[in-house]
Amino acid sequence: MATAAVLGASGYLGGELLRVLSDHPSIEVVQAVSQSRAGQRLGDVAPNLERFQDLRLSPDASTVDADIAFLAQPAGEAMTVVPSLLDRGIKVVDLGPDYRLHDPAEYARVYGRPHADTDHLSEAVYGLPEVFGARIRAARLVANPGCYPTATLLALVPLLEAHAIVGPVVVDAKSGTSGSGAQPTATSHHPEAALTILPYGAPLHRHVPEMQGVLRELGAAPGPLTFVPHLVPLVRGILCSIYATAAGPADAGAWEALYRARYADHPFVRVGRVPRLPWAQGTNRCYLAVERVGDAPVVFSVLDNLGKGGATQAVQNANLLFGWPETLGLSRAGYGV
């Protein structure tokens, strides 16, 4: 057994982490941290988490004593606690954005604040297991990807590795409102979001530098990447429709074969017909489909922003950090309808 602490336990991602970890056979949650709910019993904050109902929420990370810490915190908070956690020999999976960009100047430009832990910034391994699995196994600090980048990168990597597309790539992304976090905003608050679809994050969404950095690291950067997310009146789930230009003959069968070969040994990526959001909701799976539209490939990517785009992917990364099967504790079926 490994012991775990969850920081940001009262948010949507923290709650989903605890829900997933409640079924994990080899991880025991021994601490949960929430500044806003400090001192309360987790059973009073989240009655659905029966396994942890008597766990008291701690006010900060100073007393964390565990084998691994999951950080489900807003931008700017993880970098203030990671140095102390690593110094105490605690492995870290950060679900926030603080360690996804290795260039401190770029981090400051994107997030509007200087990075407070440049000593560990270059050490962090980008936590996309289907691409960086070997590095994750040897890491002690994992930067869990954003939800949009997970859906987009899993869709683009096979085509880029095979040099099957050229020129600009357009990503039309749609996400449920839980991606905005538990604190209502002027756009994510239910009365504002329930009856509309809202594009946001233009002209440059903060996830674009994250995606561009990973693609450069892989030596597979396409032409310009145009990414436009939309908020849709659903709670959870992401659908990306990705448009590119074929580098050679337009052959949907050959494109699908690329995906099947690339992800043959990766149990959480499913390739087939155009997916639906409920297949992925509550799971760690990403569903991919590629279609020929005219002479161009259009790729559809579906996942749960709180699952493969967040909490379940963090647990998949933890499994790799401890040398366990990456599927351990992650076998839940999707909702289906």
In a domain, 49, yes or no: yes
Q: What's the CATH code of the domain at 84?
A: 3.40.50.720
Instruction: Give the domain extent around 203.
Output: 147-303
**Known active-site residue 147:** yes
| pTM, 2 dp | 0.95
Structure tokens at 19: 């829900």
Asked if residue 160 and residue 111 are part of one domain, the reply reads no
- What's the pLDDT score for residue 118? 96
Asked whether residue 222 carries a pLDDT value surpassing 70, the answer given is no
pLDDT of amino acid 175: 95
Q: Is the dihedral of CA 201, 206, 207, 209 positive or negative?
A: positive
Q: Flag whether 335 is in a domain.
A: no
Residue 65 C-alpha from the chain's centroid? 25
Q: What is the pLDDT of residue 15?
A: 94
The active-site residue, picked from 7, 147, 314, 321, is: 147
Residues 316 and 279 in one domain: no
What is the per-residue pLDDT for 204?
Answer: 78
Domain count for the chain, please give it: 2
- Name the pairing type of β-strands 2-7 and 27-33: parallel
Residue 181 located in a structural domain: yes
Contact 117, 79 (CB under 8 A): yes
Chain CA centroid to CA 230, Å? 17
Apex 66 CA angle, 62 and 72, nearest 5: 70
In a domain? residue 331: no
What average pLDDT does range 321-337 have in this prediction?
91
Are residues 140 and 160 both part of a single domain?
Answer: no
DSSP H/E element including 242 = strand 238-246
Residue 332 lies in a domain: no
What does the alpha-carbon distance between residue 116 and residue 130 come to, in Å, rounded to a whole number? 29
How remote is the C-alpha of 316 from its chain's centroid?
11
CATH number for position 232: 3.30.360.10
Averaged pLDDT, 37-44: 85
Dump pLDDT digits (tens) for 278-317.
Answer: 999 999 999 999 999 988 999 999 999 999 999 999 999 9
Measure the CA–CA gap between 87 and 91, rounded to whole angstroms: 10
Type of residue numbered 47: P
